[in-house]
Chains A and B, each alone.
Chain A
Amino acid sequence: MTDVDPATQTFVEQWRDHAYSCFSSGHKFCRNVCPVMGVTQDENHSPTAFHANVVAMEQGLVSLEDVARDYVHCTQCGACETRCPNTLMAGDFYRHRTRTVDLVKAMRALAVDNGIEQPGWKRWVDETVRVRSEPVLDVPVEQERVADWADGLDLPIGGETILFVDCEAAFHRTSLPRAVARILRAGGVAFGLMREQWCCGGPSREMGYVDTAREFARHNLADWRDGGVRRVIALDPHDYVAFTEDYVEYFGDDYDIEVVFITELVAELIRDGRLQLTNPVEAVATYHDPCRLNKRRGIFESPREILRAIPGLEFRDVDHVTQWSYCSGAGGGLAVERPDLTAAISGQRLDRAAALEVDTLVSACVWSERPLSRAGTDRGIEVRDLMELVAEAAGLGVDPPGTGGQPAAGGSAADRRMA
């Protein structure tokens, strides 16, 4: 056996308890709910292996170089750590649960800190640092254009409540933030945009670039504090998780920003009668539970409440527990390093939707919608964001999804309804 280097030793000591909590059980309930395992059947990508590697590293059987690439194969969806009996049956009792997501993030950071970088992620993070937003593919991304999606909406800057617009929404699926802005205004929710919105830093953190993530977070929090912001509305689950988990870790007890996820707010508006949904949306739809919303945070009721309130919509549901094993494959940087796996995972998701004979798959996560849409096109299923449907049902107008307000290839059912 070789000696274990100091950086690895420190890491192993930090993770040993959690590693043995998995390794000493080894029952792999995680594997059936892991979206990556669902397409690769490769044990190297199992949450079990992710934990066992820590023990193996301590034993000198594998090195960081050996395993680093394997940790690419995770969307950080949280299915494994949710389903693991250590969490599900005993995590609350012991205040000690399975933490695969944190482990994957930590192992990726260890790799980066030791000079082992994945080529796609390195390019991605470098570009994010350069333009302060993520290099959402195929679209020119510049800080000056981060609020261009709001053209014509006359949205104020600043205020107590701001709407944070995820990079993919700001630069690619602009129909989403435009719908959200109209909905909030119609519902009487006062809000503004950030003075200078930077990427939330979540993806950088997920890929192992911790310093970059912290820098972005510091900027954003300073922007909020300087503007007297008390509340942030997140329209994407990735941001919601970054703001309520990563930012808590960075800023500790001082962190006093209230973070609201859009579906919770909109469900309340509908419940209170502040938003009327009177325009029928003639579609047969099923709902995709975004991983970070459902598995990671247990938010699955508000989207369904909203869907049931949309007139004209036939909603064919799949319960949120069955959806523990569903995923779009877009998260955790997988779409950047292994787009083939993302496509395969989205393909499986659309196969399941197709089995329900729906024409629409509704998601509440803008990052999921790009790979899901591609897979949907192959199967004649349109992918919409929940808020786009709400805006349509509230008679607030519909923008075509796609890059910068331009129609997506082939048009959409929404286009056809507007014609």
Chain B
Amino acid sequence: MIGFLLSRQEPPEPRRIKHDVVMRFDHVYEVDPALMRTITQDDMPAWDTHRIVAHRWDHLDWMHDHWADDVLSVEDLEE
């Protein structure tokens, strides 16, 4: 679906990963909400979480590219 619909912005229920860390979206760690009583969490719709995660990876790519033309991986070292 290419449009925005509010009903699709509710994040899934959290499942526990370890002490203090939960996960709602695949591969996206989150703090256990029980630790956020002194600071209140924002109301963060799904699109916002996904945007932040995508932006982070894009930024990391950008930072590599800013410093060098190419990044060597370990497999590039194989003789």
Contact = CB atoms under 8 A, between A and B. Distances in A.
Interface of A: 17, 21, 82-83, 87-89, 91-97, 99, 231, 240, 243-244, 248, 253, 255-256, 258-261, 264-265, 268, 297-298, 319-322
B4 A92 contact: no
Given A92-B49, A258-B3, A97 B44 contact: yes
Interface string B21-53: 000000011110100100111101101111111
B56 interface: yes
Nearest to B41: A95
B58 A320 contact: yes
Contacts of A94: 30-31, 36, 39, 41
Nearest to A268: B2
A231 B1 CA distance: 12
Contact of A97 (B7, B42, B54, B61): B42
A200 to B, nearest CB: 14
B54 A99 contact: no
A260 B54 contact: no
A300 B52 CA distance: 14
Contacts of A268: 2
B6 interface: yes
A322 B58 CA distance: 10
B59 interface: yes
Contacts of A231: 3
A264 B53 CA distance: 20
Given A95-B31, A321-B59, A88 B6 contact: no
Nearest to A255: B6
A297 B41 contact: no
B59 to A, nearest CB: 6
B59 A88 contact: yes
A260 B30 contact: no
18 contacts: A87-B55, A88-B59, A89-B56, A92-B49, A92-B52, A92-B56, A93-B31, A95-B36, A96-B41, A96-B42, A99-B42, A240-B4, A255-B6, A258-B3, A297-B47, A319-B62, A320-B58, A321-B59
Contact of A93 (B5, B29, B51): B29
A261 B4 CA distance: 9
Given A92-B49, A260-B4, A322 B62 contact: yes
Contact of A259 (B3, B49, B62): B3
Nearest to A240: B4
Contacts of B56: 88-89, 92
B55 A260 contact: no
Contacts of B7: 256
A94 B36 CA distance: 8
Contact of B40 (A17, A83, A87, A298): A17
Contacts of B28: 92
Nearest to B40: A17
Shortest Cβ-Cβ A-B pairs, 6 listed: A260-B3, A321-B62, A95-B41, A298-B51, A264-B2, A258-B3
Chain A CB count within 10 A is highest, among B3, B40, B42, B62, for B3
A298 B50 contact: yes
A253 B6 CA distance: 7
A259 B39 contact: no
B15 to A, nearest CB: 15
Contact of B36 (A88, A96, A264, A321): A96
Contacts of B61: 321
Contacts of A83: 59
Contact of A258 (B4, B36, B58): B4
A256 B55 CA distance: 27
A206 to B, nearest CB: 19
A268 B47 CA distance: 19
A244 B40 contact: no
B4 A259 contact: yes
Chain B CB count within 10 A is highest, among A17, A91, A297, A322, for A91
B52 A87 contact: yes
